[in-house]
Amino acid sequence: MAFFNNPNVNRVEQGAKKTLGGFKAFILRGNVVDLAVGIMIGAAFSGVVNALVNDIITPLIPAGSGSLGTFQQTAPFTHKPIMYGAFIQAVISFLILAFVIYFFVVLPVNALIARYKPKQNEAAPTTRDCPYCFSSVNIMATRCAYCTSPLPPPQQAQPAPAPQRT
């Protein structure tokens, strides 16, 4: 049992506990669970879209003999099939998924963020132009760094008058 009293073993054990504790905290955060749910729903939706493309859209596209899904040619040197039809089906599935995700997820989320995001006031200017040489200088400068002309004091923002009650 001298093995368990070894300080190197104790140090490794403490490191493992620390690492596993961090992993446990990572897994139990809400956004990881949300991500897992989103991936599962996305995979299920992808299956539905693939079935739509393979079973409904592809048979409607004329492709020589047979359907688009079985359309293929043989490569001249390797004599292996090049499956154009399967590739076209994958492209159609991708485009439908991208369309749905953009119009039903991205645009509504962006609209919600824009609606509830606090409006930021315009940032106060940090520079002003020299009236003599038209160079940009710091707003608090008393002399122009380029032409050394004395500058008028910076204009202070006047508070807006209070609205009158009627």
pLDDT given for residue 126 in this prediction: 85
Average pLDDT over residues 110-126: 76
Give every CB contact of residue 135 below 8 A, 6+ residues apart in sequence.
129, 144, 145, 146, 147
CATH superfamily of 7-115: Large-conductance mechanosensitive channel, MscL; domain 1 (1.10.1200.120)
pLDDT value of position 4 = 62
Domain ranges of the chain: 7-115
Does pTM top 0.85 for this prediction?
no
What pLDDT score does 158 carry? Answer: 46
The DSSP result for 18-57, as a single string, is HHHHHHHHHHTSHHHHHHHHHHHHHHHHHHHHHHHIIIII
Higher-pLDDT residue of 154, 161: 154
Instruction: Report whether pLDDT(149) > 80.
Output: yes
In whole angstroms, what is the distance from residue 154 CA to residue 66 CA? 79
Taking only the tens place, the pLDDT of each residue in 30-57 is 677 778 778 888 888 888 888 888 888 8
Q: State the Cα–Cα distance between residues 149 and 131, nearest whole angstrom.
A: 9
- Token pair 């119009």 is found at 103
